[in-house]
Structure 1
Amino acid sequence: MMSTDTLRYFDYAATTPADPRVMEAMFGCLGAAGVFGNPASNSHAAGLKAKDLVEQARAQVAALIGAEPSEIVWTSGATESNNLALKGFFDCEPTRRHLVTSKLEHKAILDTASYLERLDVSVSYLLPDPSGEISPAAVEAACSHHTGLVSLMMVNNEIGTLTNIAEISRLVHAAGALLHVDAAQAVGKTAIDVKAMGVDLLSMSAHKVYGPKGIGALYVSREVASRIACQMHGGGHEQGLRSGTLATHQIVGMGTACELARTEMASDNERIAQLSERLLSGVRATGAITQNVSSAVRIPHTLSLTVELPNFFPSMLADDLAISSTSACNSAAGKPSHVLTGIGLGADSAERTVRLSLGRFTTEADVDFAVDCFRGAIERCREAGAGRQDMQIRQLSNDVSVAPQLSGADVRAAHAIGFRSIVCNRHDGEAAGQTQFAKIAEVASSLGMAAHYLPVESGDVTVEAAAAFGLLVAELPKPVLAYCRTGTRSATLWNLASSRQG
């Protein structure tokens, strides 16, 4: 069972716990009694032993994806691998300066693509088909004689869709381009054979496959290695593609994790598929949940679920379930997920969508507990449904929502749907009939909620007031519901505070 006290873990797509066997292998590379030498130190036994372990791990990673060990380049993780693949290619490519990718990619690809556009690389961003997949036909249509590289995920990190890499590879190579695959979410979850699939470059990260954080790899086909420029200089390590002292313990951890994935993936996937279906069956029975991209080819590990009730907030589940409302790299942005809007969800539906991802240590008890949590949240939503509509709550982030002037009944409805704190951004006495903050605070206190009075003048939201609001929100139990006459002042305070923090 994966839990912390009563919290059950359903965020394996964000990161996985290290397998105990991985940890044991890593410990053997630490301390004076371990294999702690620098793998680049060829003049003594300590360095040579470390080098042997590094090369053994390289072979283990290569075996998982059907590569040659010499084609594995160590990096700090998939983000660095993605940067090395894209920037490294276009640093060497003088003529075919066109990149094809999709709007559903991880920010490590999208932000790198945006950077490359400033270097006169043109970028085409593909849209998914109605099932949520990036189709081979869309890739073919986007490629031209100017296209140098196509970069796509094998498995999407938010919705779990599985891209037809083998077919896309055939089309990409026919256009004279190379194919880079972000496989961070695919390694250990679906079979990969880079040779059979025709992949030129492939990014991996250990912490997605029960290995340690801080280590990853880029597969670079020997046929294209000369076309990739180093992005980190200082010693010429990794065949000149990535300099830096190799972290033996982390590399051994990744190698062990990949070896376990190679031998146990089939049994892991069978068990996870059964648990995933059990979870889906349970939440569908509520009559209030839609599974996104249900008709797409996808892995069973990752479920994207939208609660079809206007007064649902993902934070209603946060005390009991470690889940996400978007990818970990997007969660602080305060905007709807670009993946969810990319598959056609509106902003409101995206805000009511949660990602549950299952893994090696998920149990039936965890799944049944999660189903009960969804049932409880949905029951509270239905009980408080009318109140939410009257309040016109607008969610600004995972932690903060705003609303027009509240009444005591509104506070009770807010409590019923999971809010823990109330902040008033309106002066008492602004309008006749306005519920005074003392009444709001009295009701909130009776429900165990925090209530704070931080009023600002309409049309006069200052930087200082926004900073004070941001500090207050940071200290309050989450989620927080702030209110004023229309909600505008509260929203302005939060947006300004967030922009200063960013």
Structure 2
Amino acid sequence: MSTDTLRYFDYAATTPADPRVMEAMFGCMGVAGVFGNPASNSHAAGLKARDVVEQARAQVAALIGAEPSEIVWTSGATESNNLALKGFFEREPTRRHLVTSKLEHKAILDTASHLERFGVSVTYLAPDPSGEISPAAVKAACSHHTGLVSLMMVNNEIGTLTNIAEISRIVHAAGALLHVDAAQAAGKTAIDVKAMGIDLLSMSAHKFYGPKGIGALYVSRDVASRIACQMHGGGHEQGLRSGTLPTHQIVGMGTACELARIEMAADNERIAQLSERLLNGVRASGVVTQNVSLAARIPHTLSLTVDLPSFLPSMLADDLAVSSTSACNSAAGKPSHVLTGVGLSEDSAARTIRLSLGRFTTQADVDFAVECFRNAIERCMEVSTGGQDVQIKQLSNDVSVAGQLSGADVLAAHAVGFRSIVCNRHDGEAADQAEFANIAEVANSLGMAAHYLPVTSGDITVEDAATFSLLINELPKPILAYCRTGTRSATLWDMACTEQG
């Protein structure tokens, strides 16, 4: 996918709906379509809707080797994960131990944290040196108290593959069940829930060219009675998930699954070739490292760290839709738990980019991305050879912080792509500091916005944070905030994130 101004490399975040999916969905919308409520059994409109829903259920089941009756519709993998974990432990009186990993999606980690408050003990496995969750680690963690093991099949940030088939044998030998988060795996790698020994499996349609807002939980018929409903109402989906079924979204997911089943092998071969071309192109610079390169992986996702102190992921934001995994996390600017979990330092994590390719990625997109990396790297090297050594810490795609700046530092910040400067220290705090008026003069001469918001060390108020948040929302991005050490600016950001949720 490409436009005149942006090339899309964030397929792991979401995918565009395939035109064939859209066409199928449109047939279920409007008075001339199959718009009825699938639960309305007393008239033809409802019966037609039920028929297409059941056809879609069979299409989803066929993609993963399940029976149609084992597919439960949900709003997406997040809800599926919650239903699997909470639903299991609500009905499990004795085996109150959950095994998961430190690399899981927040939909699992936050659910596990919630369960801990209700007496479930949780073991969080660490990856091995290659970046994978090993069967040996699972075996060591399982005991006669273990009720459920929950692991993702493909990691959403680094693309690593987990050996689910071997792990399932270990889990079942321990008398536990296995839940798999397959949000990043469905449609990208072969899944056979029966052959692989999976008891529960979560999916989201929008990860493989279907619509947002629809997903499924595979529940093996052998364990369905052990899962408690988490959304009550009309008793839909065999009593496991109530709510009127969104026919058009379900049909979209079914169509996406059918296309994936037929076209996955060809898609993967093409994507693997493009991924190799991209990787070779950016590594030719000599300063780009592929993370966990020795691990088993899918070709769709590349995690790349640029080994230059002045590099910021935001330098690519105008041209490439990519993911920076150092964004504001829950309440503060923290590095990705996945990247630090596989051994990256906080600094390296802040210079890491996730590029994910998909069905509509072209060779032209890949070559354009390589050129964008080359240009950003050249700018960083020019800053380095020019003698500027401003230390910048990226807190999100939009905000970075630094210590005291000089006019030369502003020049360097502009060179690597910053568009706004915010000063958070008072003039006159140190004899050698540049006055803000001088900083603003240099910034304005470069076309950058500059704003003065001084705060007092150790006495930052909620009002200060609210004002800072407004500035962040209004100023051109990316933004570099600074004070004497960068600490006050970072504190303002942390407080602003906390206030926002």
Q: CA–CA distance in 2 between the matches of 1:270 and 1:327?
A: 31
Quick check: 429-438 or 177-186, which moved more? Answer: 429-438
8 Å CA contact retained: 1:407, 1:440 = yes
Counting only pairs closer than 5 Å after superposition, residues 6-405 of structure 1 correspond to structure 2 as 6-326=5-325, 334-385=333-384, 390-405=389-404
Residue-by-residue CA offset, 1:143-195 (whole Å, 9 max, x unaligned): 11111110000000000001111000111111111100000100010000001
Residue-by-residue CA offset, 1:420-458 (whole Å, 9 max, x unaligned): 111112233333343222221121112111111222334
Give the 3-state SS of the residue equivalent to 1:391 in structure 2. Answer: coil
**What is the aligned partner in structure 1 of residue 499 from structure 2?**
500
**What is the aligned partner in structure 2 of residue 472 from structure 1?**
471
Q: CA–CA distance in 1 between the matches of 2:83 and 2:109?
A: 14
Matched residue type, 2:134: S
Give the 3-state SS of the residue equivalent to 1:378 in structure 2. Answer: helix
Q: CA–CA distance in 2 between the matches of 1:68 and 1:332?
A: 42
TM-align CA RMSD:
1.5
- Structure 2: which 5+ residue stretches go unaligned? none
Compute the displacement of 1:386 (Å): 6.0
Q: CA–CA distance in 2 between the matches of 1:490 and 1:293?
A: 33
Q: CA–CA distance in 1 between the matches of 2:386 and 2:97?
A: 52
TM-score computed with the length of structure 2 as normaliser: 0.97
8 Å CA contact retained: 1:388, 1:414 = no
Matched residue type, 1:351: A
8 Å CA contact retained: 1:3, 1:9 = yes
Matched residue type, 2:169: R
8 Å CA contact retained: 1:89, 1:228 = yes
Q: CA–CA distance in 1 between the matches of 2:420 and 2:8?
A: 25
8 Å CA contact retained: 1:291, 1:303 = yes
8 Å CA contact retained: 2:165, 2:196 = yes
Give the 3-state SS of the residue equivalent to 2:400 in structure 1. Answer: strand
8 Å CA contact retained: 1:387, 1:410 = no
Q: CA–CA distance in 2 between the matches of 1:109 and 1:433?
A: 50
Give the 3-state SS of the residue equivalent to 2:36 in structure 1. Answer: coil
Give the 3-state SS of the residue equivalent to 2:333 in structure 1. Answer: coil
Q: CA–CA distance in 1 between the matches of 2:340 and 2:387?
A: 23
Amino-acid identity (%): 87
Q: CA–CA distance in 2 between the matches of 1:21 and 1:416?
A: 44
Matched residue type, 1:83: N
Residue-by-residue CA offset, 1:119-162 (whole Å, 9 max, x unaligned): 11111110101000001111111111111110000000000001
Compute the displacement of 1:3 (Å): 2.7
Q: CA–CA distance in 2 between the matches of 1:333 and 1:456?
A: 19
Q: CA–CA distance in 1 between the matches of 2:331 and 2:447?
A: 27
Give the 3-state SS of the residue equivalent to 1:384 in structure 2. Answer: helix
Q: CA–CA distance in 2 between the matches of 1:492 and 1:157?
A: 29
8 Å CA contact retained: 1:426, 1:485 = yes
Quick check: 476-485 or 363-372, which moved more? Answer: 476-485
TM-score computed with the length of structure 1 as normaliser: 0.97
Q: CA–CA distance in 2 between the matches of 1:387 and 1:41?
A: 72
Matched residue type, 1:134: I
Count matched residues: 501
Compute the displacement of 1:459 (Å): 3.7
Q: How has the CA–CA distance of structure 1 residues 359 and 331 changed in structure 2, closer, same or farther, with 3 Å as cutoff?
A: farther
Matched residue type, 1:17: P
8 Å CA contact retained: 2:63, 2:260 = yes
Q: How has the CA–CA distance of structure 1 residues 326 and 472 changed in structure 2, closer, same or farther, with 3 Å as cutoff?
A: same
- Structure 1: which 5+ residue stretches go unaligned? none
Q: CA–CA distance in 1 between the matches of 2:331 and 2:161?
A: 26
Compute the displacement of 1:470 (Å): 1.4
